Amino acid sequence: MKIQFNRAGFAEALGLLTSVVPSRTPKPILRCVRITAGEKEVRIFATDLEVGINYLVSEVQIEEAGETIIPADSLAAIVRESVDEVLSLQDKEGICEIKGADSHFTIYGQQASQYPAVPGFDGGADMEIGLENLQAGVEQCLFATAKESTRYALNGVLWEIKGKKLSLVATDGRRLVRTRVNLASAPEGKLASAKIIVPAKTMSLLDKIGSSDKDTVAVKLVDNQILISCANVVISSNLVEGNFPKYEDIIPADYDKKLTLSTEAVLSAVRRSALLTSEESRGIKLSVGKESLVFSGRAPETGDARVDMAIDYKAEPLEIGFNPQFLIDVLRVIKTPEFELELGQQDRPGLIKSGKDFLYVLMPINLG
């Protein structure tokens, strides 16, 4: 195999591919990428056996077809640090040479026959979504997934299709987010009301695809896998097995204390009131009174913080405690200048709404 490739484009491809390459694995070949040059196109593959990427490389000249298996970190480092606009890559009997104007690297590869298959995207899509829409949805829900949980369903994002809308739902047991995005084309038949759980790692890859406002994501379900195709990238992923919590039961529907607040002003108030909290006193208190909202935080060994905000509120006063980081996380992803905060009693969760398609449920904490 021998190809000439544009270094910048190759570096962009490797930036995405290396994000699925495992740093530790009992199978050393999984720490490699597979490069295949046909007569007309070059593809790079990466997989950790759970998630795979099939990447069609642009701006490449094929001098000789073939394939090679190269350690991903070594290849990425060489491409990243090189200064040439164009690099040459040649493989002969498992020995790969990469050449620039003043550089020459030799890497020992592995047997191509041992590399696991990474699927492409064949046939029509089950549904289509605008890439920008989907990426906005990912940004608004991914932060609420569980980072490590024995309940595997919480390590992913629930995709729930209802008509022309796709609901994305994530929870770690202490908070829950649901955001809805419009589908460019909705599925039919059994898939029209499908519920699947997509791993958080797969969702994060969607956020790394370079987007233009015209790009569309094609989605197909095959057995226990989801295939996602956009532009020159195909992401394949196993779905998460398990039952997602019945999230509708968690969303409060009977609250009478409602406030409309400035997203930017509340984000600033939460950050400032949390400055003097400690590991032991991790929460901040929201004191809702007649026409005023007070954010306060304290740590016995440090001191107290208080931020006052004027509000339009006439209902019963209430004091409630929240984890400030969980408030900061959601306020960062709200797209509207204002949001609604709905409250019940001191021991019931808070409900944040932004527009028709975004809501966030946050469990309170006891501040003693």
Tell me how far apart the alpha carbons of residues 8 and 14 are, in angstroms, rounded to a whole number. Answer: 10
The Cβ-side half-sphere exposure at 304, using a 13 Å CA radius, reads: 6
Which tokens in the block code for residue 22? Answer: 């495992």
Q: What is the pLDDT of residues 185-201, one digit of tens each?
A: 988 877 777 899 999 99
CA distances from 232 to 13, 44, 60, 211, 362 (A): 10, 11, 14, 11, 39
Residue from 204, 145, 139 nearest 173 by CA: 145
In this predicted structure, what is the pLDDT of residue 132? 92
pLDDT confidence of residue 259: 95
Q: Which CATH number fits domain 2-114: 3.40.50.720, 3.40.640.10, 3.90.550.10, 3.10.150.10?
A: 3.10.150.10
Query: Among candidates 264, 272, 240, 273, which has minimal Cα distance to 339?
Result: 264
CA nearest neighbour of 14 among 55, 49, 58: 55
pLDDT of res. 194: 81
- DSSP, collapsed to helix, strand or coil, labels residue 283 as coil
H helices, E strands: number in the chain: 6, 25
- The DSSP bridge partners found for residue 171 are 176
CATH number, span 251-362: 3.10.150.10
Per-residue pLDDT of the chain (368 residues; tens, 9 = 90+): 999 999 999 999 999 999 999 988 899 999 999 999 999 999 999 999 999 999 999 899 999 999 999 999 999 999 999 999 999 999 998 899 999 999 999 999 888 888 999 999 999 999 999 999 999 999 999 999 988 766 778 889 999 998 899 999 999 999 999 999 999 998 887 777 789 999 999 999 998 887 666 789 999 999 899 999 998 999 999 999 888 999 999 999 999 899 999 999 999 999 999 998 877 768 999 999 998 999 999 888 889 999 999 999 988 999 999 999 999 999 999 999 999 999 999 999 999 999 999 999 999 998 87
Q: pLDDT per residue over 239-276, tens digit each? A: 998 889 999 999 999 998 999 999 999 999 999 999 98
Give the C-alpha distances (Å, rounded to integers) separating 34 from 8, 73, 97, 116, 206: 19, 13, 15, 9, 21
Tokens 């000789």, located at residue:
64
**For the chain, how are helix, strand and coil distributed in percent, rounded to 5?**
20, 40, 35
Cα–Cα distance measured from residue 204 to residue 331, given in angstroms and rounded to the nearest whole number: 19
pTM over 0.95: no
Of 3.10.150.10, 1.10.3720.10, 3.40.50.150, 3.30.70.20, which CATH number belongs to 127-247?
3.10.150.10
Q: What is the pLDDT of residue 359?
A: 98
CA pair distance 316, 259, nearest whole angstrom: 12
* All structural domains of the chain with their residue ranges: 2-114, 127-247, 251-362
127-247 and 251-362 share one fold: yes
Amino acid at residue number 7: R
pLDDT of residue 265: 98
